[in-house]
């Protein structure tokens, strides 16, 4: 019989464990304006690709111009960092407690993001979360490929050694790309949460095995799955 215990929990940050109240869109707008681009022509694609590595989004928006994409990504990271420094982010209610509960149960928790490491660290510092999870990962930690690729989930498995079967990993996020990443990795639970960018239909259409009101409902969903 297959062991269904979910010993590796891979959680997205912005929109899933971190409530940023539209800061991603605000930072994209600021970045576009700094480069002389019209953000109105970009915002639909930005919304559709929430969860993807930001440099990949800019590569698409700027027609594959690598130099401009890197300039735009740097401007985005700077703008987001400025918003974080202004204290405009907060934990999703119950997120920190949920992570603590999961770790107390002997599970390994990994926080992932589509942001660059410098921005991820700024968020962790702003929230006092440096020691909250067992590991934090950004696309650069997984060879440069973020979501919807499965690389960060698989890197979490390899780095932590928490499970010997990816079906014993649970992935949770608020975007379609989070769902695709979990499905492509082969995770047992791929949970969409409704505290972020995408709706229930979008999450289920991209492979969610569960759709939860928030990450605070994840421990109960895991217990039910394991029973």
Tens of pLDDT, residues 27-39: 888 888 887 888 7
d(CA 178, CA 174): 7
Please, are residues 205 and 212 in contact by the beta-carbon 8 Å criterion? no
Give the model's confidence band at 152: pLDDT under 50 very low, under 70 low, under 90 confident, else very high: very high
Nearest to 168 by CA among 41, 6, 32: 6
**Average pLDDT, integer, range 168-193:** 96
**Average pLDDT, integer, range 18-24:** 83
d(CA 176, CA 70): 24
For residue 137, what are the β-bridge partners? 112
Assess whether pLDDT exceeds 80 at residue 2.
no
Q: Enumerate residues 6+ apart whose C-beta is below 8 A from 137.
A: 110, 111, 112, 113, 152, 155, 156, 159
d(CA 163, CA 15): 26
pTM over 0.95: no
Please, are residues 94 and 216 in contact by the beta-carbon 8 Å criterion? yes
Between 95 and 26, the more confident residue is: 95
Supply the pLDDT for residue 64.
81
Give the model's confidence band at 186: pLDDT under 50 very low, under 70 low, under 90 confident, else very high: very high
Assess whether pLDDT exceeds 50 at residue 1.
no
Q: Would you give the distance in Å from CA 68 to the centre of its chain?
A: 24
Give the model's confidence band at 151: pLDDT under 50 very low, under 70 low, under 90 confident, else very high: very high
d(CA 182, CA 77): 25
Assess whether pLDDT exceeds 80 at residue 21.
no
Nearest to 142 by CA among 116, 106, 104: 116
Between 25 and 215, the more confident residue is: 215
**Span 96-150, pLDDT tens digits:** 999 999 999 999 999 999 888 988 998 999 999 999 999 999 999 998 888 899 9
Q: Enumerate residues 6+ apart whose C-beta is below 8 A from 147.
A: 51, 52, 53, 114, 173, 175, 177, 178, 180, 181
SS3 call for 12: strand
**Span 45-92, pLDDT tens digits:** 877 777 677 778 888 888 888 888 888 888 888 888 888 888 788 999
């Amino acid at each position: 019989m297959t062991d269904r215990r979910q010993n590796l929990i891979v959680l997205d940050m912005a929109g899933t464990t971190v409530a940023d109240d539209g800061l991603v869109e605000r930072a994209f707008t600021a970045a576009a304006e700094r480069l002389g681009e019209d953000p109105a022509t970009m915002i639909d694609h930005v919304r559709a690709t929430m969860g993807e590595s930001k440099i990949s989004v800019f590569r698409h928006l700027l027609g594959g111009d690598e130099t401009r994409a890197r300039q735009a990504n740097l401007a985005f990271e700077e703008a987001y960092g400025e918003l974080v420094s202004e204290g405009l982010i907060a934990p999703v209610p119950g997120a920190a407690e949920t992570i603590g509960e999961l770790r107390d149960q002997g599970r390994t928790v990994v926080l992932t993001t589509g942001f660059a490491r410098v921005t991820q660290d700024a968020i962790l510092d702003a929230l006092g979360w440096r020691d909250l999870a067992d590991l934090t990962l950004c696309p650069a930690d997984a060879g440069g490929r973020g979501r919807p690729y499965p690389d960060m989930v698989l890197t979490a498995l390899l780095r932590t050694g928490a499970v010997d079967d990816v079906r014993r990993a649970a992935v949770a996020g608020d975007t379609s790309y989070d769902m695709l990443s979990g499905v492509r990795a082969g995770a047992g639970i791929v949970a969409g949460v409704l505290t972020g960018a995408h709706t229930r239909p979008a999450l289920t259409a991209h492979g969610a095995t569960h759709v939860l009101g928030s990450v605070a409902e994840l421990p109960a969903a895991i217990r039910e799955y394991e029973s």
